[in-house]
Amino acid sequence: MSAPTVTDLLSTPGALLTQLHLRALGLDRRAIDAVFRELDVIVLPGYSQPMVYAADYLALVERSTDWGDWVRPC
Protein backbone atom coordinates (compact mmCIF):
# COMPACT_ATOMS: atom_id res chain seq x y z
CA MET A 1 0.00 0.00 0.00
CA SER A 2 1.40 3.38 -0.97
CA ALA A 3 1.35 6.53 1.14
CA PRO A 4 -1.69 8.77 0.68
CA THR A 5 -1.30 11.80 -1.54
CA VAL A 6 -1.64 15.31 -0.18
CA THR A 7 -5.02 15.53 -1.91
CA ASP A 8 -6.11 12.37 -0.11
CA LEU A 9 -4.98 13.83 3.21
CA LEU A 10 -6.97 17.02 2.66
CA SER A 11 -10.16 14.96 2.52
CA THR A 12 -9.28 12.57 5.35
CA PRO A 13 -10.76 13.43 8.76
CA GLY A 14 -8.01 13.88 11.35
CA ALA A 15 -5.19 13.90 8.81
CA LEU A 16 -1.97 15.69 9.67
CA LEU A 17 0.15 17.73 7.27
CA THR A 18 3.90 18.33 7.49
CA GLN A 19 5.89 21.13 5.94
CA LEU A 20 6.65 18.81 3.01
CA HIS A 21 2.92 18.34 2.35
CA LEU A 22 2.40 22.10 2.30
CA ARG A 23 5.35 22.45 -0.09
CA ALA A 24 3.70 19.87 -2.37
CA LEU A 25 0.58 22.07 -2.35
CA GLY A 26 2.69 24.88 -3.82
CA LEU A 27 3.43 26.95 -0.73
CA ASP A 28 6.87 28.55 -0.47
CA ARG A 29 8.90 28.70 2.74
CA ARG A 30 7.42 32.01 3.93
CA ALA A 31 3.86 30.78 3.39
CA ILE A 32 4.60 27.53 5.22
CA ASP A 33 6.07 29.48 8.13
CA ALA A 34 2.95 31.68 8.20
CA VAL A 35 0.70 28.60 8.34
CA PHE A 36 2.68 27.14 11.25
CA ARG A 37 2.59 30.48 13.11
CA GLU A 38 -1.19 30.76 12.70
CA LEU A 39 -2.31 27.21 13.50
CA ASP A 40 -1.95 24.90 16.48
CA VAL A 41 1.13 22.78 15.85
CA ILE A 42 1.34 19.10 16.76
CA VAL A 43 4.78 17.86 17.84
CA LEU A 44 4.97 14.18 18.69
CA PRO A 45 7.60 13.02 21.19
CA GLY A 46 10.60 11.57 19.37
CA TYR A 47 9.49 12.87 15.95
CA SER A 48 11.16 15.97 14.58
CA GLN A 49 8.56 17.01 11.97
CA PRO A 50 5.93 19.45 13.30
CA MET A 51 2.45 18.96 11.83
CA VAL A 52 -0.88 20.74 11.53
CA TYR A 53 -4.34 19.30 11.05
CA ALA A 54 -5.45 19.28 7.41
CA ALA A 55 -8.89 20.58 8.44
CA ASP A 56 -7.28 23.53 10.25
CA TYR A 57 -5.21 24.31 7.14
CA LEU A 58 -8.31 24.24 4.91
CA ALA A 59 -10.18 26.51 7.35
CA LEU A 60 -7.25 28.95 7.34
CA VAL A 61 -7.26 29.08 3.54
CA GLU A 62 -11.04 29.59 3.52
CA ARG A 63 -11.00 32.48 6.00
CA SER A 64 -7.98 34.03 4.28
CA THR A 65 -9.53 33.99 0.81
CA ASP A 66 -10.74 37.34 -0.51
CA TRP A 67 -14.17 36.75 -2.00
CA GLY A 68 -14.44 40.39 -3.04
CA ASP A 69 -16.92 41.28 -0.31
CA TRP A 70 -14.51 42.36 2.43
CA VAL A 71 -11.58 44.71 2.84
CA ARG A 72 -8.26 43.05 3.50
CA PRO A 73 -6.84 44.14 6.86
CA CYS A 74 -3.52 45.96 6.82
Q: How many CB atoms lie within 10 A of CB 62?
A: 9
Categorize the per-residue pLDDT at 71 as very low, low, confident or very high, splitting at 50, 70 and 90. Answer: low
Provide the pLDDT for residue 12.
95
Mean pLDDT of the chain: 92
**Contact predicate 18/49, CB 8 Å:** yes
Provide the pLDDT for residue 72.
61
Domain boundaries, the chain: 6-64
Q: Is the pLDDT of residue 41 over 80?
A: yes
Q: Is the pLDDT of residue 74 over 70?
A: no
In whole angstroms, give the CA distance from residue 24 to residue 72. Answer: 27
